[in-house]
């Protein structure tokens, strides 16, 4: 989101824009305020980054108001659907952006409903999975998680260490999200979910977004939609058919399955699922209804 301006939100050379997303009925997307690949250096740096990201997002959303609607609640989402607009939900990817009370309150007031507790690095709140799976949440991370959960924000564990995942599960009772993670049983990558983690998300009624990033799908250099189907099938075998949605990581990764160059290529995943005897309803659930049901119930 930090790269988007009013015109690039409508049309750009990345994975997704409003023009290409318009091929789908009732398109909805989570727009992430991303902390950045470079670690946050200080609370002042965090405040500067967060302020810039939020202002950029708000301006872009306002400029595209005829096509897009920022949604804070399920009622907003329903209004966007009825008006034929893209439903935009706002998240923070990397809670290290929120290091002062002012910014936490600003995020809540702006309509942020999802917060990823860590990105890849060790931070003031916890540690990313690719840095150290045994380093968990820090006291400030537990405190922030409880505060956000109490104010209607859902915690995203996609980048969180395995120890941090279970510590988060111990300190909040709300459903957990893994907005862009795959199965570690199918592809042994630290960013992917273990079966135990996925089953905990099922137990809580959360959501897992299937990620299209090649290294999360397979150990081979390239991937196909068949690789995505393998992850989906494994999660379904664990009983999580209603917990799955699409978390493709548009513009957040550089290697997607060979049939999918951008958002319009998702029809090839639907075709692959149909070849594996998934029904139209099951495919629609994955692409829309499961996430819509979560929003309707919790937002």
Topology agreement, domain 1-9+26-165 and domain 175-299: yes
Among 288, 223, 232, residue whose Cα is nearest residue 253: 223
In the prediction, which pLDDT does 7 show?
60
CA distance 167 to 207: 18
Mean pLDDT, the chain, whole residue set:
96
Q: Is the pLDDT of residue 147 over 50?
A: yes
Q: pTM of this prediction?
A: 0.95
Q: Is the pLDDT of residue 10 over 90?
A: no
* DSSP 8-state symbol, 159: T
In this structure, are residues 257 and 231 in contact, taking their beta carbons and an 8 Å threshold?
no
**Is 48 exposed, middle or buried (CB count within 10 Å of its CB: 0-12, 13-18, 19+)?**
middle
In this structure, are residues 290 and 244 in contact, taking their beta carbons and an 8 Å threshold?
yes
3-class secondary structure, 226: helix
CA distance 223 to 201: 26
The residues spanned by each domain of the chain are: 1-9+26-165, 175-299
Could you tell me which residues come within 8 angstroms of residue 102 by beta carbon, excluding any fewer than 6 positions away? 47
pLDDT digits (tens, 9 = 90+) for 182-231: 999 999 999 999 999 999 999 999 999 999 999 999 999 999 999 999 99
Strand partners, 112: 90
Query: What is 175-299's CATH number?
Result: 3.20.20.140
CA distance 132 to 128: 7
Q: Is the pLDDT of residue 2 over 50?
A: no
What is 1-9+26-165's CATH superfamily?
Metal-dependent hydrolases (3.20.20.140)
pLDDT digits (tens, 9 = 90+) for 261-274: 999 999 999 999 99
Q: How many CB atoms lie within 10 A of CB 232?
A: 25
């Amino acid at each position: 989101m930090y790269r988007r301006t009013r015109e690039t939100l409508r049309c750009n050379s990345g994975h997704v824009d409003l023009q290409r997303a318009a091929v789908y009925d009732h398109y909805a997307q989570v727009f992430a305020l991303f902390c950045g690949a470079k670690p946050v250096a200080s609370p002042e740096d965090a405040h500067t980054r967060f302020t810039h990201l939020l202002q950029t997002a708000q301006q872009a959303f306002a400029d595209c108001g005829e096509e897009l609607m920022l949604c804070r609640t399920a009622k907003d989402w329903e209004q966007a659907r009825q008006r034929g607009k893209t439903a935009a939900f706002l998240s923070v990817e990397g809670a290290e952006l929120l290091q002062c009370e002012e910014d936490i309150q600003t995020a809540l007031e702006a309509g942020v409903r999802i917060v990823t507790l860590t990105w890849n690095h060790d931070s003031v709140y916890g540690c990313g999975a690719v840095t150290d799976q045994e380093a968990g949440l820090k006291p400030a991370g537990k405190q922030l998680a409880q505060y956000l959960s109490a104010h209607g924000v859902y915690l995203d564990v996609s980048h969180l260490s395995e120890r941090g995942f279970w510590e988060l599960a111990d300190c909040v009772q709300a459903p957990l999200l893994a907005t862009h993670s795959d199965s570690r049983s199918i592809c042994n990558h630290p960013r992917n979910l273990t079966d135990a983690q996925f089953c905990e998300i099922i137990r809580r009624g959360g959501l897992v977004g299937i990620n299209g990033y090649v290294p999360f799908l397979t150990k081979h250099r390239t991937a196909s939609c068949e690789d995505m189907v393998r992850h989906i099938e494994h999660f379904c075998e664990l009983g999580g058919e209603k917990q799955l949605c699409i978390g493709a990581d548009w513009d957040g990764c550089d290697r997607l399955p060979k049939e999918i160059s951008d958002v319009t290529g998702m029809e090839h995943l639907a075709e692959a699922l149909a070849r594996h005897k998934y029904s139209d309803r099951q495919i629609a659930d994955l692409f829309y209804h499961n996430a819509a049901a979560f929003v309707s119930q919790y937002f």
